[in-house]
Amino acid sequence: METISIVGGGIAGLALAACLDPARFQVTVYEKRPELPTVGTALGMWPNAQRALDRIGVLGAARAVSPVIGSGSVRNAAGEPWVTVDGGEMFGISRIDLLRLLDSAVPGTVRRLTGQVQALPADDGLVVGADGVHSVIRRAAWGARSAATLTPYLALRGTLPFPVTPDVVGEYWGRGDLFGMAASNGGMFWYASYRSGRGPYGIDSTAVLEEARERFAGHAQAVREVLAAATPEACLVQRIWTAPGLHSFVRGRTVLIGDAAHAMLPTLGRGACESLVDAVTLADLLNTLPEDQALRAYNRQRRLRTRALSLASSALGRVALAEGAQPLRDRLLNLARRRKDRAAVGRGSTA
């Protein structure tokens, strides 16, 4: 049996462990958390992530616990929609449900070790770094210069046990901040982001919730109502970090997947989705090809695509969180909306 050590039993690590062929590999997952987390907000599952969930065998169960996101609008701070996007079959799954389902798909033959890995595991098998944005494995194999980068942004997220109506769903772009809300299992989830000097670690969610209430006081009523109802216990707050653009996700017999490879700004909501796709792609290649070929093919298939998404997320983040350029951005988006409205009226009068 070939041995594979997966460091990190989060979304990427569990998905990989679920898909590796147990007849061929002796797999060990190292996870520092003793239990699955109990607080977490929702993650939008794009079609490629849904295909990955199908491959893992949990798509049906994931759909059953997750509402379809439906259409949502990008809005100005007052709540007027600029652009409305149809989410199609996309659904929003709670991170807790996703981790639970992935965990249940991991075969019993996989060894689970609890504890924080400090360095590359010392056996001569393949090592997979699935240990998130602050990956110990990336730093051990790629060097100190591959350490995560702190962005100037903070993310505050939470859930509420009441439904959200379609006329307020979407993302509100203000001056240097954004606020979003969507349906989730049993209610809604919401998130806010803006520049902050707090942290970077151990940020107090009570203080940040207070700060957010003041910051968003001039926003649409729906935003104010959500923040008024939010409680610190049902909130997660963190500074956002990203991973550096690597020339390769593979070094010798070490390979990176998920946020360890490409943590990006969450503006496109793709990080978890791409982590699932990484895991399934790598597993299927390792299951069918010699290791060196599988690793080369994985790097070819995943590096440039995820790099493009990281760059696109950063570009969208600059627009969504624009400060100095906010008046210009708003004028352009207002113009685009008026042109679209006029075209719709024109089509109506010809019909």
Ligand X SMILES: Cc1cc2nc3c(=O)[nH]c(=O)nc-3n(C[C@H](O)[C@H](O)[C@H](O)COP(=O)(O)OP(=O)(O)OC[C@H]3O[C@@H](n4cnc5c(N)ncnc54)[C@H](O)[C@@H]3O)c2cc1C
Helix axes 11-19, 271-288, angle to 10 degrees: 30
- Minimum CB separation of residue 326 from ligand X in Å reads 21
277 is an interface residue for ligand X by CB under 6 A = no
Q: What is the pattern of x (binds ligand X, CB under 6 A) and - over residues 18-57?
A: ------------xxxx---------xx-------------
Q: CA dist 170 to 63, 223, 326, Å?
A: 21, 11, 19
d(CA 272, CA 61): 17
3-state SS assignment for residue 230: coil
Q: What is the pattern of x (binds ligand X, CB under 6 A) and - over residues 131-160?
A: xx---x------------------x-x---
Q: What is the pattern of x (binds ligand X, CB under 6 A) and - over residues 155-194?
A: x-x-------------------------------------
Helix axes 47-56, 95-105, angle to 10 degrees: 30
Token readout for 270 is 């793709």
Q: Which is nearer to ligand X, 35 or 86 (CB)?
A: 35
Within 10 A of 254 (CB to CB), how many other CB atoms are there? 20
Among 4, 5, 6, 7, binds ligand X (CB under 6 A): 7
- Minimum CB separation of residue 153 from ligand X in Å reads 9
Give the residues across from 113 on adjacent strands.
30
Quickly tell me which residue has 């042109």 as its tokens: 339
Among 4, 5, 6, 12, binds ligand X (CB under 6 A): 12
Which residue stretch of 59-67, 171-179, 267-275, 312-320 sits at the interface with ligand X (rule: CB under 6 A)?
A: 267-275
Asked if residue 200 has a cis previous peptide bond (ω within 30° of 0), the answer is yes
Backbone angles phi, psi at 171, to 5 degrees: -120, 135
The contact set with ligand X (CB under 6 A) reads 7-13, 30-33, 43-44, 116-117, 130-132, 136, 155, 157, 240, 258-260, 266, 269-273, 275
